[in-house]
Structures are given as structure tokens and as C-alpha cells.
Chains A and B, each alone.
Chain A
């Protein structure tokens, strides 16, 4: 590629060392003078190590702080999530226990109710004398009294 460029340059490009027009020459001289002035000013600028160290320390501190924040955020997020999960699990367990208790209470109530009904049915049945047997009962009473008289 360089060879191609080389051939092209020899064939068509004007030589780099051509006589430059005065305006371009002036611009290049000004540019050179400007770069020299800038670099010398920066090169000779009193620069204490403290400045550099402080700047780098700040960058380093900022980087580490950010990393620390991210790490702390991740860890605390995880812990928070875990804590929330625990709370949710506890609440769910409590709710389940309450439900179980409620169901047991209801079951007990139902059982009690059924027992009461059965008991009342039993009492009602035992108290009631069937009317169809009533005359027989009377007869048995009469027979008993006659035997006693004899």
C-alpha cells in the first residue's frame, strides 16, 4: 500500500518540499510558533506533585467510592430482599396458621352444633311417646292394677 502511495506521489503529487506560497508559509510559521509557545508554557509550568497526586487520588477515590456504593447497594439489596422474603414467609405462615385455627374453630363449632342437634333429637325422641302405643300403655296399666287388687 505504501509502495502504491509512493508511486502515486511521485507521479502526481507535487513534491512536499515545493516552494510554499507566502500565505501558507506564514500560516505554518504561526502554527509552529503557537505550538512551541504552548508546549513551552506547559512544560515550564510549575507543577507540584501534589496537584497530580491529588487529582489522581480524587479519581481513584471516586472510582473506589462508586465501586463501594455499587457493592454496598448490591449487598444491601440482597439482604433487603432476603429480609422481605422472610417477612413474607412469616406473614404467610401466620396467615396459614390463622386459617388453620379458624378452620379448626369452625370444625369444632360444627361438631358441637351437630352434637347439640343430635342430643336434642335424642331428648325429643326419648320424651315423645308414640301415640299409636298409647292405648296399649293404658291397658298395661289397667292389667297391672287388677293384678294388684287380686
Chain B
């Protein structure tokens, strides 16, 4: 019994250490993904960085309550989406800050292309296509944009998107269809 009580603090310390290591791994594995999603959602580098940090801070505080019912990525993405919602809600209330935004414009966002061996003409065409998609994304509702980005940038499965957003799979499909219709319309097809 005495040995058991002596071992208890060590066991707790070890468990804490393991949890910290596990969380560090989660941060390492998912930080870029969360940042990318927030960057694509806001087009604001500073804001995306801040929200990413807040997301992991919140995750760290609640790491003990994470039971692994969903994947860590889904859990983190849900936190990120909620933080983003809170941010915009607070910003709406802070009317004096509404005019100030660091979001880059669509043309600037479209200039980013992976460095490949494609020709100049192909790069121009790709840039134009990217700009069209950005323009369509700009017009989407917040929920449609979230679903669209999770599907076509983060390549999540419909079930994962449903888990992340708290919507049903059918609703996710509906949002995706409408988002795609918007992209098609922007590209000159039928809405």
C-alpha cells in the first residue's frame, strides 16, 4: 500500500508528461493545416496566426477533456471554426474596428502558385482560374465557405466535415453543391 502511494505521484507525473508530448505531436502535425484553413477563410495572415495560436491555446486547456471520439484534427478544426465565428461576432460589435482589416485582396491572394515547371502561359491561366475561384469563395456564405474550404482545400471527407461543422452530411452536400454552382457560374458555366 505504501509502495503504491509512493508510486502515485510518479505515475501522475509520467501521465502528464505523456499527455504533454502527445499534445506537442498534435500541434506539430496539425498547426499548418489549421493555419491554412484560417488563412483561406480570412485572407488575413496576422488574424490567421492569432486565431491559430488561440486555437492551440484553447486545445491545450481542454486537452484533458478530449476523449478521442473524433480525430484530433476534427476537434481542432471545430475549435478553429468557433474561434473564427467568435472573432467576427465580436468584430461586428466593435464597430470602430470594422474599417480596419489586414485581409489581402483577391488578386494578391491569386498570385500564389506552386513553383512548378509549367510555362508562363500556363501559370497565367492557372492564376486566372485561382482568381475566379477566390471570387466565387468571396460570395459564399460563411457556412458554405467553410464547407467548401474543408472539402476542396483540406480534402476532408464529407463525414469529417459533418463532424467538424456539426451539420448533417446531407446539409454538407447541399452547401457543397451550391458552392460548386457558384464557382461554375464564376467560371462562365451555368449556375
Contact = CB atoms under 8 A, between A and B. Distances in A.
Given A2-B168, A24-B184, A32 B153 contact: yes
Contact of B171 (A2, A31, A38): A2
B186 to A, nearest CB: 9
B80 interface: no
* Chain B interface mostly: helix
Contacts of A113: none
A6 B130 contact: no
B113 interface: yes
Given A16-B151, A37-B112, A27 B174 contact: no
Given A34-B109, A42-B35, 9 more contacts: A16-B151, A24-B180, A28-B133, A30-B129, A30-B130, A31-B153, A32-B152, A32-B155, A35-B153
Given A35-B40, A42-B39, A10 B170 contact: yes
Counting contact residues on chain A (CB < 8 A from B), the size range is 20 to 34
Interface string B170-191: 1111111110100110010100
Contacts of A41: 112
Given A24-B180, A37-B113, A43 B174 contact: no
A41 B152 CA distance: 19
A16 B158 contact: yes
Nearest to A2: B171
B34 to A, nearest CB: 10
B36 interface: yes
B174 A31 contact: no
Interface string A31-51: 111111111111100000000
B151 A36 contact: no
B15 interface: no
A5 B177 CA distance: 12
Contacts of B178: 13
Contacts of A2: 167-168, 171
Given A16-B151, A35-B40, A5 B113 contact: no
- What is the size category of the interface that chain B forms with chain A? 35 or more
Interface string A1-30: 011011111100111110010011011101
B13 to A, nearest CB: 31
B183 A13 contact: no
Contact of B183 (A15, A17, A28, A34): A28
Nearest to B184: A24
A66 to B, nearest CB: 12
B152 A28 contact: yes
B101 to A, nearest CB: 14
B114 A36 contact: yes
